[in-house]
Structure 1
């Protein structure tokens, strides 16, 4: 992690660390890195979006880069537009599911995949040096406005088709998904009931689509007797789902179901997920001919592995899904259409969810100063062998140890001064016993660090 870029681009409080000056310089750094070409720029609904977008665009133009301004646009639409307009990169001004006082800058490659940590490091070096490309008055980049929404919907309808019509309640959280997600669902032939769909930049619910933040969506699904409820975060790169009985479908269950459906739709193959995903996915997709590969946390790591292995589907247990047949950008909007197709082909979500095995998952956050993280992780890696009797170890992102009926992941947060412990076991008793041990180990490691 660099000075500016974290796990998911730059994400800071507006007019504190994230200022128009920084956005201007990120634009200049990206233009210098690219050395010309075209960049698509979109923003989410945050009140600071236009300010930061204009500053970033000015920086790009000053380096001779042409800009396609797609205005208010969810992250999936930016990823789609990069390929549609044959651009060399894309930028979304978004803080995804963070509170409204935050904003961020996330950069995308020509293939729709997010910039890798290595690429972000290059941008950091240029930012730090202040050595930006400057072009003459007659070589300054041009800017044009474009709206790729119709194309996006048209292309999505080529890949997804419903035999029946459904009642869908859609909660876009006052985010950028509101300008396209309800329209795609309607074009699929569904009856759409919208919640929080005015893109105001003032969020009436917590943006992360989880059981707590989607209580109103769940209630609406029950009251309206709807077939499904779908929700997004601020930039609609994530999806949260409520079933036909008005229950939030846990992320792990939904991840397993959609991975299984992608295998049914596109054929057997590799499913890519992250080190914090549980056993349910493996147990559900193996009989269908799926093989699970685990990688670092973050959509770019998932996209890289998908591209490398030619995988069928990639997803994180946070509602972030990547459908490589569509794009390498995480896309909650296309995911929503896919969920409807799965219901159309396989039956009600409440019934499908019963097929996914359930295990006990526990999570803990332990305060840890950022400067102690690296040493604490070294100590954990050394001590874990003495503390636990395990069969396998994965250390690509933190330390994950696993046995036949449990696993534990120790991982420093990429965005907060905390250590995360995530574990899963077959019984509540075993899970608690493991967490007690794990917590002790982490606290001792932080003290010694």
Structure 2
């Protein structure tokens, strides 16, 4: 499987200059190999991907005479790239004005406390910014950053991704960078953002990374970083990007120059020590954690292991990573999930934008509930750090209404606690929280700001159990201050 993983990186690099033609839906299965016939996603342990013409040891990518022909039908809607010769990396470190350009290319990838950029060409006016070379050196930098935080300790990192079309390309480059930086890596394949943080709690990884761009279009991608302390903050991301730029400079690789970086990353990937990388199917562990929460919360005496018997729940995963919640969390507990939809991972997101804030996502969830007469509907975003609810009448519960629902549940369990929200919540929500005996604190927008303020209050001795933003990001103190859309859904399922 490691050989397949290395070959996937090599073939991915040969597709750096593919131009997508027409709608991105037509060749998703060929592009990602995450497509399949089951309702929810597979473990993601297979990393073999479509291989355009390429030769493993040649510097001429996509034009080697002895390269095998691509299987019929693959990349049918994508123009094949012009052959190009990979130049040698520069003979010395990058300095002067070129170094300034290199640093700028890394720095522009910072998106608050995450990294985000355009990973695939295809949308006019949106050039690629998250190059494979950038992903490689960011991985290298994160490994070095972790080592500096825990001197003398081995560095172990778990890596997962959502089903975006560029997911395997970014994953391969990033993992090779982690290994070059001295880390041992466990690759989860398809995963969710909360699952990655949970892996640190359950298995003691030094760090975890989710490759995702949340609800952004198919051509975007990014990285979210975690340690045992939670998600990284803005200064941490700035530090990692500075380290990445320095590492690229020292290697003489001008990230963004396709030939130079492709050759360097390919060379690094082919020299990865396979013993440093393991494929791990971790999702079942996370699904079991969520099931146990429901079993404990419902406390059914008649059917303790099947507390959701007779309960009909329609999950809309938006073709992101959340389909497992229906098939591996709800169904094993007896729930009827026949009305669930868009559970298959599909990185082109063909049915609607996977965003609980977006009207199309909520309308689709409401339609699913009405179509089958479900007792409850759940709508997830791509990487499942956000969610929203639909009640049995088809009423959409997101934004202020979802915060109100979670506040009611939280204030029953923790009377008088403080609810922290972003600054745009309504006065009606403030009145509702007050009517239940709670305290409401509005804080500046941005889920990291809201969660960070809740953590700060608790450190000051002020009990703040729920931190939630109108976007659907919601974190509970009882769940390590992690914004977990699946955990919020579990809380609602228990109540329903």
What is the TM-score of this pair, normalised by structure 1?
Answer: 0.70
Correspondence for 1:319: 472
- Contact 1:28/1:63 (8 A) holds in 2: yes
Structure 2 residue 233 is the aligned partner of structure 1 residue 116: yes
CA distance in 2, matches of 1:143, 1:124: 23
Label 1:141 to 1:39 Cα distance change in 2 as closer, same or farther (>3 A): farther
Moved more, 288-297 or 52-61: 288-297
1: distance between equivalents of 2:411 and 2:245?
45
Q: Which residue of 2 aligns with 1:205?
A: 352
Shift, 1:188, TM fit = 4.0
SS in 1 for 2:479: coil
- State the match for 1:392 in structure 2: none
The alignment status of 1:235 with 2:383, answered yes or no, reads: yes
Deviation, 1:50, is: 1.0
Aligned-residue Cα RMSD (Å) equals 2.6
Q: Is the 8 A contact 2:113 2:233 kept in 1?
A: no
Which structure's CA Rg is the greater one? Answer: 2
Q: Which residue is equivalent to 2:67?
A: none
1:34 deviation in Å?
Answer: 1.3
**Which of 300, 306, 312 is the equivalent residue of 2:448?**
300
Q: Which structure is higher in strand share?
A: 1
Shift of 1:329: 2.7
Q: Does 1:55 align with 2:173?
A: yes
Shift of 1:138: 11
Would the alpha carbon gap of residues 223 and 139 (structure 1) be closer, same or farther in structure 2, given more than 3 Å must change? closer
Q: Which runs of 5+ in 2 are unaligned?
A: 1-105, 121-127, 148-153, 252-267, 301-306, 459-463
Deviation at 1:104, TM superposition (A): 1.1
State the alpha-carbon separation in 1 of the partners of residues 495 and 289 from structure 2.
18
Deviates more, 1:311-320 or 1:3-12: 3-12
Say if 2:242 is the partner of 1:125. yes
Compared CA separation, residues 248 and 138, structure 1 to 2 (3 A)? closer
**Taking structure 1 as reference, are residues 141 and 106 closer, same or farther at Cα in structure 2, changes over 3 Å only?**
farther
Structure 2 partner of 1:274: 422
Task: Note if contact 1:99-1:207 (Cα within 8 Å) is conserved in structure 2.
Answer: no
Deviation at 1:124, TM superposition (A): 2.3
- Where does residue 168 of structure 1 map in the other structure? 313
Secondary structure, aligned partner of 1:312: strand
Q: How do 1:172-251 and structure 2 match up within 5 A? A: 172-192=317-337, 193-203=339-349, 204-209=351-356, 210-251=358-399
Q: Work out whether 1:335 is the aligned partner of 2:488.
A: yes
Preserved CA contact (<8 Å) 1:7 1:298 = no
Classify the secondary structure of the residue corresponding to 1:83: helix
Cα distance in 1 for partners of 2:377, 2:172 equals 35
Q: State the partner residue of 1:64.
A: 182
Residue 141 of structure 1: how far off its partner (Å):
7.9
Rounded to whole Å, the distance in 1 between the matches of 2:155 and 2:249 is 16
Question: Which consecutive residues of structure 1, in runs of 5 or more, have no partner in the other structure?
Answer: 344-449
For structure 1, which segment, 330-339 or 7-16, has the greater mean C-alpha deviation from structure 2 after superposition?
A: 7-16
Q: State whether residues 114 and 299 of structure 1, in contact with CA within 8 Å, keep that contact through their aligned partners in structure 2.
A: no
Give the match's secondary structure for 2:169: helix
Q: 1:29 is matched with which residue: 141, 155, 174?
A: 141
- Would the alpha carbon gap of residues 257 and 266 (structure 1) be closer, same or farther in structure 2, given more than 3 Å must change? same
2:199 is aligned to 81
Instruction: Decide whether aligned partners of structure 1 residues 143 and 267 sit closer, same or farther in structure 2, where only a CA change above 3 A counts.
Output: farther
CA contact (8 A) 1:174 1:196 kept: yes
- Tell whether the 8 Å contact from 2:291 to 2:330 is kept in structure 1 after alignment: no
Range 124-133 or range 53-62, more displaced: 124-133
- Is the deviation greater in 332-341 or in 182-191? 182-191
Q: Which residue of 2 aligns with 1:420?
A: none
- Indicate the SS of the match to 1:194: coil
Q: CA–CA distance in 2 between the matches of 1:158 and 1:133?
A: 49
Query: Any conservation in 1 of the 2:161–2:212 contact (CA below 8 Å)?
Result: yes
Which of 212, 230, 243 is equivalent to 1:94? 212
Question: Is residue 256 from structure 1 mapped to residue 426 from structure 2 by the alignment?
Answer: no
Pairing 1:6–2:111 present: yes
TM-score after normalising by structure 2: 0.64
2-structure distance, mates of 1:199, 1:173: 8
Deviation at 1:205, TM superposition (A): 0.7
